[in-house]
Amino acid sequence: MQYDVLIVGGGPGGIYSAYELLEKRPDLKIALFEAGHALARRHCPIDGVKVKSCVKCPTCAIMNGFGGAGAFSDGKYNITNQFGGTLHEYIGKKQALELMEYVDEINVANGGEGTHLYSTGATPIKKLCLENDLHLLDASVRHLGTDKNLVVLEHLYNRLKDRMDIYFDTPVQSVERTDGGYRVVTMAPSDVQEAASMVYEAFDIADQYRNPVVILADGMIGQMMGAVDFDRMPPRRENLPAKDWALRGSDARGGKAQAILFPVGTAHYIEKNIAETELYPALIANETRVESIGVEDADIVLAAYGTASRMCRAAMETLKGELKLGLIRPKTLWPFPYEAFEAVNPKCKAIICPEINIMGQMIDDVRIAAAGRWPVSHVGDSRTDFLTPDAIVEKVRQVWKEVNA
């Protein structure tokens, strides 16, 4: 099945995202994946008699499932910028409050009628606090109560379930961008020596896994002159698999049969299934390559491959003493080294992707790896100029100014 939008998680964020998408774009095909149970099946086995403590259910019915961890709470929805989150820092205080009020309207319209909206504004307690130099935080609170909260969630589920696909008990383990078909190992050298070394290794990788390998050498490497030390070539892999699949002529000459016959379409599905269940996990585990420099305490991290990564090193040297820059250089673009981004300084302000192209070809993978923890931006060729170290320096200073504004 192909979808226009996939939503991971059936908590409030996922529910209201689906609600809004269906209201604004009912033509979209949407799926939501939730690790926990449907609302009607969310029952904790603890009863205080037979079961008195947690039995470690595979999926906790209290914490997971439609409605998220707050499904069985007392149903208080706070409408304020003064505590409970930092949304207003991204979209402004006025718009943040308007969105909270909009969600409140949805809840009231879907089973929350008759509940009270409390406020600290213009109340005797606020006056008393001010008289004693105490400052009460401004907030409005919709108190649904546990029972009413479940009614609202049930209404929302009924409103969504026939207009989209909802998959319960379906945890999402990973997210990958693919363009359909088969994946091929893609190696990205940054200089002539590495290009030659990767070609050596590519033959053995292709042989071992029976999977194509692409060497993505950009145009600058193609025009570059440099010495190649063949003594630095990677060692040949031992114990490569036997070529029992190869066709070597007729049996009369001691070879294999001249043809392999499958029912129409069968070979494709067998190969596809083997690739997805055995081959690709092995390639990801064994052949992912990356070089990381200084990401643990970086203010900004550069993510670049090929010749662009060499420009990043020059930019890092220029900005030494001004900013702490880190570098993540994927040597394989597939498998992509997502785990390398887990080592990035949590206080890092941004990730920048310098690439020798106009639109950015790696930036989507970097955004997946960043997982919303850091803003990700691109710098590359313009329509009149190629990428340069100076352009990277300028971009870093621009981003640093923006994130600290």
> For residue range 346-360, what is the model confidence (pLDDT) as tens digits?
999 999 999 998 888
246 burial class (0-12, 13-18, 19+ CB within 10 angstroms)? exposed
pLDDT at res. 336: 95
Please state the separation of Cα 341 from the chain's center in Å: 11
Architecture per CATH, domain 290-403, reads as 3-Layer(aba) Sandwich (3.40)
pLDDT tens string 263-276: 555 555 556 566 56
Bridge partners, 118 (sequence order) = 141
pLDDT at res. 86: 85
DSSP H helices, 113-253, are 124-131, 146-160, 192-209, 219-223
DSSP H helices, 238-288, are 266-274, 280-287
User: Which parts of the chain register pLDDT below 50?
Assistant: none
CATH 3.50.50.60 placement within the chain? 1-46+54-75+145-173
Could you please state the CATH topology (level 3) that the domain comprising 1-46+54-75+145-173 is classified under. FAD/NAD(P)-binding domain (3.50.50)
pLDDT at res. 218: 83
CATH 3.40.50.920 placement within the chain? 290-403
pLDDT at res. 267: 53
Dist CA 6 CA 27 (whole Å): 14
pTM beyond 0.75: the answer is: no
